[in-house]
């Protein structure tokens, strides 16, 4: 029987804070190249849900690579389901660089510190705390809610959402929409106004390895076929290339609101002047105004006096929705016909409609908690597990709400040293997310 009683949200917030600390204290580090272990954190999630009578199942895609799925039945079988998902792996942390134990989950200066505090165990904790509360008070959501906690998001999703969508699509049966990380966070602009950025688009990925061939030889001799020279010239040209501005609908919608709120000019010929209005977030948002290609790795040679016969470099290419071919053809034109291009990793771009009933529910939940807030769409320069779910026809958004201090450089905390999340931000997030899920 559905219980409509109003919950004491404070106890749910406290539970989320405690769970976030405990999740951080379980290292679930993903080193890439298949080397990761989510087994302990997956077991914790299953136990946490079992404590309140929610059955969850672990899907192991490889030894110790674990995904957790649970379905909470809704009261209206005619409504499509909603996937609420997070990833449970984290990137490595060098303890010597941190001011606290990166896996200590300590609370200091009003923040929870530790690897995964931002990306994204705070969100996992909020989800768990909310559904645990539902079970305790007998609350039943209107639509089915599929909880998915994925492995391997930090290294290409092969053992996580890609595996689940390909091998176990049945767990998402009947679901048409999804929410996950990096959306609904606040950015303070002019006169203290707060934008809440909801992720509605993501750039695609093309990581490529460039290899130049040359003539090997002694380092003391003349050599006009030096592979390293050819390669580094090409890499420098890529690194210095000025990509043309290309504005998708999501980007235009965001900057129209930035201009309106700040009283600045909206000039669709060049939106870059508006970047200074959004503070440190501009580093990430700026990358969504164009394709990007950043050299990240070089490999050549084995001895100081030997000219190598080959040299290679890795380029991190990111393309806007609709501009993948422009990225690839431009790279080829920059480097010329003789350098080989090998694709190391590729993933799609996404852009979804910001005018939907689900988005309206997000906006309403944010505004009930912060009536002066301004929800806006934005594009991520990276990507999330929503890409894998999109291949099942599931429309995904980034909505993991946080109200942040105006002076916090939030984006620098993703994968950063001394990663941390405000305790008050989690409390805000629990209230908004619970409200949204009970009205979505």
How many angstroms separate the CA atoms of 198 and 254, rounded? 10
In angstroms, rounded to a whole number, what is the distance separating the alpha carbons of residues 292 and 150?
28
Q: How far apart are CA 376 and CA 250, in angstroms?
A: 9
**Which two structure tokens, joined as six digits, stand for 148?**
């998915």
- Beta strands 35-36 and 340-347: pairing type? unpaired
Return all residues near 217 (Cβ < 8 A) that are at least 6 apart.
223, 306, 307
Contact 314, 295 (CB under 8 A): yes
Q: With a threshold of 0.85, does the pTM exceed it? A: yes
163 pLDDT tier (thresholds 50, 70, 90): very high
Over residues 294-305, the mean pLDDT reads: 96
Rounded distance between C-alpha atoms, residue 422 and residue 429, angstroms? 10
Contact 213, 199 (CB under 8 A): no
DSSP letter at 297 equals E
Q: How far apart are CA 161 and CA 389, in angstroms?
A: 7
Phi and psi angles of residue 119, each rounded to the nearest 5 degrees, phi first: -125, 90
Helix (H/G/I), strand (E/B), else coil: 49:
helix
Distance of alpha carbon 419 from alpha carbon 423, whole angstroms: 13
Identify the bridge partners of residue 65 per DSSP, sorted by sequence position: 62
Length, in residues, of the chain: 440
Asked if residue 2 has pLDDT above 60, the reply is no
Average pLDDT value for residue range 235-263: 97
pLDDT at 6 over 70: no
pLDDT at 38: 98
Domain map (residue ranges) of the chain: 9-182+384-437, 201-347
Taking the C-alpha atoms of residue 70 and residue 150, their distance in angstroms, rounded to an integer, is: 12
Q: How confident is the model at residue 7 (pLDDT cuts 50, 70, 90)?
A: low
- Tally of CB atoms within 10 A around 303: 8
Q: Are residues 21 and 48 in contact, defined by beta-carbon separation less than 8 angstroms?
A: no
Q: Minimum mean pLDDT among 94-103, 203-212, 215-224: which range? A: 215-224
On whether the CB atoms of residues 421 and 106 are closer than 8 A, the answer is no
- Per-residue pLDDT reduced to its tens digit, 302-341: 999 999 999 999 999 999 999 999 999 999 999 999 999 9
Q: Give Cα 121 distance to the centre of its chain.
A: 12
The tokens for 134 are 């539902």
Distance CA 92, CA 77 (A): 42
Fold match between domain 9-182+384-437 and domain 201-347 = no
Q: Residues with Cβ < 8 Å from 330, sequence gap 6 or more?
A: 241, 243, 291, 293
pLDDT of residue 105: 97
The region that residue 161 occupies, defined by phi over 0 for left and psi between -120 and 50 for alpha, beta otherwise, is alpha
Q: CA–CA separation, 20 vs 126, rounded Å?
A: 8
Segment 89-114, tens digit of pLDDT: 999 999 999 999 999 999 999 999 99
The shares of helix, strand and coil residues in the chain, as percent rounded to the nearest 5, are 35, 25, 40
Mean pLDDT (the chain, rounded): 95
Cβ neighbours, 10 Å, residue 369: 17
Q: Which CATH architecture has domain 9-182+384-437?
A: 3-Layer(aba) Sandwich (3.40)
Q: Residue 206: name the closest of 298, 285, 296 by CA.
A: 296
Model pLDDT for residues 339-350, shown as the tens digit of each residue: 999 999 899 999
Partners of residue 88 on adjacent β-strands: none
- 3.40.50.300, 3.30.70.260, 3.40.50.720, 3.30.70.360: CATH of 201-347: 3.30.70.360
Supply the pLDDT for residue 3.
41
Contact between 434 and 179 (Cβ < 8 Å): no
Q: pLDDT per residue over 115-142, tens digit each?
A: 999 999 999 999 999 999 999 999 999 9
Mind listing the pLDDT tens digit for each residue in 42-72?
999 999 999 999 999 999 999 999 999 999 9
d(CA 201, CA 197): 11
Could you give the strand order of the β-sheet that contains 292-300, starting from the edge strand earlier in sequence?
Answer: 292-300, 310-319, 204-213, 340-347
Residue 183: closest CA among 10, 379, 18: 379
Q: Sign of the C-alpha dihedral, residues 138, 141, 145, 148? A: negative
């Amino acid at each position: 029987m559905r219980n409509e009683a109003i919950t004491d949200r404070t106890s749910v917030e406290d539970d989320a804070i405690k769970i976030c600390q405990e999740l951080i204290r379980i290292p679930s580090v993903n080193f890439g190249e298949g080397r990761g272990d989510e087994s302990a954190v997956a077991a914790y999630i299953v136990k946490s849900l079992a404590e309140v009578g929610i059955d969850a199942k672990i899907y192991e895609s490889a030894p110790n690579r674990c995904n957790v799925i649970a379905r909470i039945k809704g009261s209206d079988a005619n409504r499509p389901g909603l996937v609420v998902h997070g990833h449970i792996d984290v990137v490595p942390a060098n303890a010597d660089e941190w001011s606290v134990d990166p896996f200590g989950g300590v609370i200091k200066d009003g923040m929870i510190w530790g690897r995964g505090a931002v990306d994204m165990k705070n969100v996992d904790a909020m989800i768990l705390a909310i559904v645990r509360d539902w079970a305790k008070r007998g609350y039943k959501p209107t639509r089915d809610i599929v909880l998915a906690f994925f492995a391997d998001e930090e290294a290409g999703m092969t053992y996580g959402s890609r595996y689940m969508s390909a091998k176990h699509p049945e767990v998402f049966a009947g679901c048409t929409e999804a929410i996950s990380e990096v959306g609904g966070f606040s950015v303070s602009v002019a006169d203290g106004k707060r934008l809440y950025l909801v992720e509605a688009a993501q750039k695609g990925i093309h990581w490529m390895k460039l290899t130049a061939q040359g003539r090997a030889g002694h380092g003391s001799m003349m050599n006009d076929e030096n592979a390293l020279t050819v390669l580094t010239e090409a890499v420098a040209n890529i690194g210095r290339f000025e990509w043309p501005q290309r504005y998708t609908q999501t980007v235009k919608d965001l900057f129209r609101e930035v201009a309106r709120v700040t009283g600045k000019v909206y000039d669709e010929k060049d939106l870059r002047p508006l970047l200074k209005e959004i503070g440190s977030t501009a580093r990430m948002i700026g990358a969504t105004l164009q394709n990007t290609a950043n050299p990240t790795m070089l490999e050549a040679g084995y001895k100081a006096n030997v000219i190598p016969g080959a040299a290679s470099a890795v380029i991190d290419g990111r393309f806007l929705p609709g501009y993948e071919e422009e990225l690839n053809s431009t790279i080829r034109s920059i480097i010329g016909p003789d350098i080989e291009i090998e694709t190391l990793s590729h993933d799609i771009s996404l852009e979804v409609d910001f005018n939907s009933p689900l988005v309206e529910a997000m906006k309403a939940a944010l505004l009930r908690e912060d009536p002066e807030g301004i929800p806006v769409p934005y594009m991520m320069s990276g990507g999330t597990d929503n890409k894998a779910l999109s291949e099942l026809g599931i429309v995904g958004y980034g909505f993991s709400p946080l109200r942040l201090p105006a002076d916090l450089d939030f984006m620098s905390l993703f994968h950063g040293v001394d990663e941390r999340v405000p305790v008050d931000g989690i409390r805000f997030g629990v209230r908004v997310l619970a409200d949204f899920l009970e009205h979505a």
